[in-house]
């Protein structure tokens, strides 16, 4: 994902779906080093668009030899949390 500079939108969400946030997106803003990046996160809330910058630290988990997780806050002011890379089944 760090090689993608275009804005990425959430296609399908099954976590915390009761919120009023819609059109969630992430866009890389700056590469700080090989494992630390700054992203702009954003969402539509009613008629407004909210954006904020977060630092995202890449890491490996389990027996992975390549980065497969990132630690970042998903809400402004939240404690950063480790999130593993998730993929979508093309049939779903």
pLDDT for residue 74 = 83
pLDDT for residue 12 = 75
Taking only the tens place, the pLDDT of each residue in 30-87 is: 999 999 999 999 999 899 999 999 999 999 999 989 899 999 998 888 999 999 876 6
Taking only the tens place, the pLDDT of each residue in 12-24 is: 777 778 888 888 8
Global pTM reads: 0.78
The DSSP bridge pattern shows strands 21-33 and 69-72 to be: unpaired
In a domain, 58, yes or no: yes
In a domain, 25, yes or no: yes
**CA–CA dist 74, 25 (Å, integer):** 11
pLDDT for residue 1 = 63
Range of the structural domain that residue 71 is part of: 8-84
**CA–CA dist 9, 59 (Å, integer):** 22
- CA angle 52/11/62 to nearest 5° reads 80
**CA–CA dist 65, 39 (Å, integer):** 24
In a domain, 55, yes or no: yes
């Amino acid at each position: 994902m760090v090689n993608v500079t275009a804005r990425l939108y959430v296609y399908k969400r099954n976590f915390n779906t009761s919120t009023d946030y819609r059109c969630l997106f992430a866009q890389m803003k700056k590469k700080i080093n090989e494992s630390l990046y700054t992203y702009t996160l954003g969402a539509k809330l009613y008629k407004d668009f909210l954006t904020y910058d977060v630092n995202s630290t890449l890491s490996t988990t389990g027996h992975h030899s390549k980065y497969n997780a990132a630690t970042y806050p998903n809400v402004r002011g939240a404690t950063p949390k480790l999130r593993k890379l998730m993929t979508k089944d093309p049939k779903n």
